[in-house]
Amino acid sequence: MHRAFRRGDRRAWADDRARRDGERCGRRADARAPRARSVGREGCARDLGLGAARAPVAEPRGGGEARRAGAPRRGRAVKRRGFAILLAFLVVGALLRVAVGPVAVDGGIALRLGVPSGEVLSLRGLSVLSALVVGAALGLSGLSLQTLLRNPLASPFVLGISSGAGFGVACVLVLGYLFAWGGNWVGEAFGAVTGAAVALAIVSRFGRGGDGHDPTTLVLAGVILGSIFSAGTVLAEHLVPHGLRGDLLSWMAGRLPEIPDRGILGLVAAVVVLAWLSLAARARALDVSMLSDDEARSSGVMLAGLRGNLFWTGGILAGVAVAYAGPIGFVGLVGPHLARRLLGPHHAALVPGSALAGAALLVTADAARQVIDLGSGRLPVGVLTALAGGPAFLWLLRKGAFR
């Protein structure tokens, strides 16, 4: 028994010594700077020969907080740089559109680079404004459709919505001719919005799969539906006299008005501003809606109302743009993608960025077409955007931007 007591004393003495050594090493670790206390205590285990693995050195105090504080600053810097690039793009295109234009010379018409004056400057300024408004409408329409369908391929032109709007306008023109109605842009806009909404509803129905909208099926449905509406528009051409047929063909190619009507342009601009404000007010809900339905509902987003808003916003913007300038392709597709690459995925920046990108693209295209004359007049802006937007669309597909 005496030996048992002695073994117990030795065990208690060893435990007490280990406790004192641990406290001493803890105080020594607390005094070490700038290493963290946890690292110091693990170092004590190594000093005591307990075989602890070498602990990683902790980062200096405040490093995590500094990194977290720097992330928003970097994000804001990226957005400022992106907006600056888009704004510079728009300003350069607008200056070129104002400075370059045809002037009357001896023997015909020639292009001249310079600052116009008087009525010429006013007309060119209105042309810039009309291209800006239509481009912003197409950019916002493309963003609305891409968010609604959760599909980066969605755009008014690719999905056949522009063709549907064009068919609606053609129907209004034919009915106006048959029943001797006067020309009314509001009626044409109503026909365009109706045609765009019908086309969007059909494409959305046929493109829906088990887990949302399938990109391939969506594009195929849009191409087929666009062909059907285009054939219907051509059929409508043969129901109007030859005088109207030429205007209808020119409008179908996508042509900005040479002399914009201030009243109609004001109505289109008002629609674009209202759509912009509506989308900007729902920016956070739009971000959440890109998640699954269950995640979006658990975050408190009313998906039915939001999708209805996106449906009509995309359809109305596409219809108004087509009624004013005809079907102009690829601006609604490339504009949101350009904004997304420069500004990031958040809709608080994407909404103004898509409008700005669409406006910059169309204003620049309108400026470029002023110097392209193939002998029979300048190209319609819709032809130029298709020639430039088609390769850009293929490049985005090649880069995997739609995955």
Condensed to tens digits (0 to 9), the pLDDT of residues 157-210 reads 888 898 999 899 888 888 887 777 766 778 888 888 899 889 988 988 887 765
What's residue 376's pLDDT? 66
pLDDT: is 69 or 205 the higher one?
A: 205
If one looks up domain 132-399 in CATH, what number appears?
1.10.3470.10
pLDDT at 284 over 90: yes
Residues 6+ apart with CB under 8 A from 239: 174, 177, 178
- Domains of the chain, by residue range, sit at 17-58, 132-399
Predicted local distance difference test score (pLDDT) of residue 95 = 92
Average pLDDT over residues 372-399: 78
Q: Of 52-56, 77-81, 319-323, 326-330, which range is least confident?
A: 52-56
Cβ atoms of residues 90 and 356 within 8 Å: yes
**How do residues 25-60 score in pLDDT, each as one tens digit?**
545 444 444 444 444 444 444 443 434 444 444 444
Answer whether 315's CB lies under 8 Å from 200's CB: yes
| pLDDT (tens digit per residue) in 206-264 | 877 655 566 677 778 888 999 999 999 888 888 877 767 776 777 788 888 888 888 88
Mean pLDDT computed over 307-325: 89
pLDDT number for residue 20:
59
CA distances from residue 194 to 79, 243, 247 in whole angstroms, order as listed: 36, 26, 22
Rounded to whole angstroms, the Cα distance separating 3 from 1 reads 5
142 or 397, higher pLDDT:
142
The DSSP 8-state label assigned to residue 103 in this structure reads E
With 60 as the cut, is the pLDDT of residue 70 above it? no
Tell me, what's the pLDDT at 123? 87
